[in-house]
Amino acid sequence: MYEALRDLIPDINKSCSDELAAEISTSGDRIGEAAVHIFCDLENSIKGDAAKTPVASGAVHPLTRYVMNYLKYACEYKVTLEQIFQKNKALVPSIKHERESPSHNQTGENSSSSPFSD
């Protein structure tokens, strides 16, 4: 939904009243905010999982399946999620807005990470 609205906003701005265009743009912003909150809820679910007991019959833990589903879709929508998190980084308390030290990739080179990656 976010992508569809984002892609349609330029045409909507041309063909609709300013009031309607503003409402549609606000709707897109709220969808983006909801996506950020969904990932924050995922983070809290992971942090809050205190279950130390193994799953019966050696099955995959439900939280693991839950997280893997998020990661699968996060990979598919990475570019859009990067845009959403960049736009809404103030909503995410765990994102460091000012880095004390630069990130390092596997080769040891400096790289800037995105709010979504954080």
Tally helices (H) and strands (E) across the chain: 4, 2
Joined together, the tokens standing for residue 92 give 């995410």
| pLDDT value at residue 43 | 86
The domain spans of the chain are 2-90
Report in angstroms the alpha-carbon separations of 31 from 3, 6, 13, 27, 101.
Answer: 10, 11, 19, 6, 32
Full pLDDT tens readout for the chain, 118 residues? 999 988 988 898 888 898 998 998 899 999 999 999 998 888 888 888 777 677 788 788 888 888 999 899 899 999 999 999 988 888 776 655 443 444 444 444 445 677 777 7
- What is the value of pTM for the model shown? 0.72
C-beta atoms surrounding 66 within 10 Å? 14
Joined together, the tokens standing for residue 9 give 């906003």
| pLDDT value at residue 55 | 78
